[in-house]
C-alpha cells in the first residue's frame, strides 16, 4: 500500500482498534495465476504473536479455499472511515484540489486451514459471541448446536498469523493547522456516521484550531 510518511501509522493499538471496529474485511489471495477475493468477518486474537492472529471461515464451495489450503500468502484489507474533503474548505481554494481522508489497514500473512469440526464450532462460536455482544438478547450458536454441527462439513476454517501490518491514516496531516480546523468544522456539520468517525479521529490528533495535540 502506498503510504506517504505523513499518513503512516505504526501504533499497534490503533491498528488493532480499527480492525476490531471494522471487522468485515476483504481477503485477497493470489494463487495459480488467479486473484481470489472474498469479503468476510474476521476475529482478531491480539494476544497471539507479535501482531496478532486473524480467524475466519468460508464456504468450502468457494474456490478461494484451494488457495488457502495451499498456504498461499494472503492480505486482509480492513477499511475504516472515509470522507470527502472539498478545496472550498481550505484557506485558498484556488490553489488546491479535492481529496479524500480515509483509514485503511492491511494485514499480511500465510493462512493455516482447519476442517476439524470441534475447531470450526469453536471458531463460529467466537465470531458469533463477539458480534452478538451488542444485541439486547444475544443469540448463541449453542441454541442451534445440532444445526451448526450439520453445517461444519460445508465450511473451511482458517487463521492468519499476522506477519506484517500496514496502516494508512490520512487525516489531513499534510495540511496547515488553519485548513485542518476548517475541515473539522465542516465534518462537524455532517450526520453521516463515517464522517463523524473520521472527525473523532482527527479530534484525537488536533485541537479545535487544527494544531497537533
CATH number of the domain within which 97 lies: 2.30.110.10
pLDDT for residue 16: 98
Q: What is the pLDDT of residues 32-61, one digit of tens each?
A: 999 999 999 999 999 999 999 999 999 999
**49 domain-assigned:** yes
Instruction: Give the range of the structural domain holding residue 94, as residue numbers without chain letter.
Output: 5-174
pLDDT for residue 45: 96
pLDDT for residue 176: 95
**179 domain-assigned:** no
CB 128 within 8 A of CB 148: no
The total of structural domains in the chain comes to 1
pLDDT for residue 197: 97
pLDDT for residue 28: 98
What's the predicted TM-score (pTM) here? 0.93
Specify the 3-state DSSP secondary structure of 105: strand
Alpha helices in 28-103 (DSSP H): 64-69
pLDDT for residue 147: 86
Point out which residues pair with 105 in neighbouring strands.
78, 167
The segments of the chain whose pLDDT lies below 70 read none
C-alpha cell at 197: 468517525
**205 domain-assigned:** no
pLDDT for residue 146: 86
Amino acid at each position: 500500500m502506498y503510504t506517504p510518511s505523513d499518513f503512516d501509522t505504526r501504533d499497534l493499538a490503533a491498528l488493532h482498534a480499527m480492525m476490531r471496529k471494522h471487522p468485515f474485511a476483504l481477503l485477497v489471495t493470489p494463487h495459480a495465476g488467479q486473484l481470489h477475493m472474498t469479503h468476510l468477518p474476521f476475529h482478531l486474537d491480539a494476544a497471539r504473536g507479535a501482531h496478532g492472529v486473524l480467524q475466519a471461515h468460508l464456504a468450502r464451495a468457494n474456490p478461494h479455499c484451494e488457495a488457502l489450503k495451499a498456504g498461499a500468502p494472503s492480505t486482509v484489507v480492513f477499511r475504516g472511515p472515509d470522507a470527502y474533503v472539498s478545496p472550498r474548505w481550505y484557506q485558498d481554494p484556488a490553489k488546491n484540489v479535492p481529496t479524500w481522508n480515509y483509514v485503511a489497514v492491511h494485514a499480511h500473512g500465510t493462512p493455516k486451514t482447519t476442517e476439524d469440526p470441534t475447531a470450526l464450532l469453536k471458531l463460529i462460536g467466537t465470531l458469533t459471541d463477539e458480534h452478538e455482544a451488542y444485541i439486547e438478547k444475544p443469540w448463541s450458536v449453542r441454541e442451534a448446536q445440532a444445526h451448526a454441527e450439520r453445517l461444519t462439513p460445508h465450511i473451511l476454517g482458517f487463521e492468519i498469523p499476522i506477519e506484517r501490518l500496514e496502516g494508512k491514516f490520512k487525516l489531513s496531516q499534510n495540511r496547515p493547522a488553519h485548513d485542518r480546523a476548517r475541515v473539522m468544522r465542516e465534518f462537524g456539520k455532517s450526520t453521516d456516521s463515517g464522517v463523524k468517525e473520521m472527525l473523532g479521529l482527527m479530534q484525537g490528533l488536533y485541537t479545535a484550531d487544527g494544531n497537533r495535540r
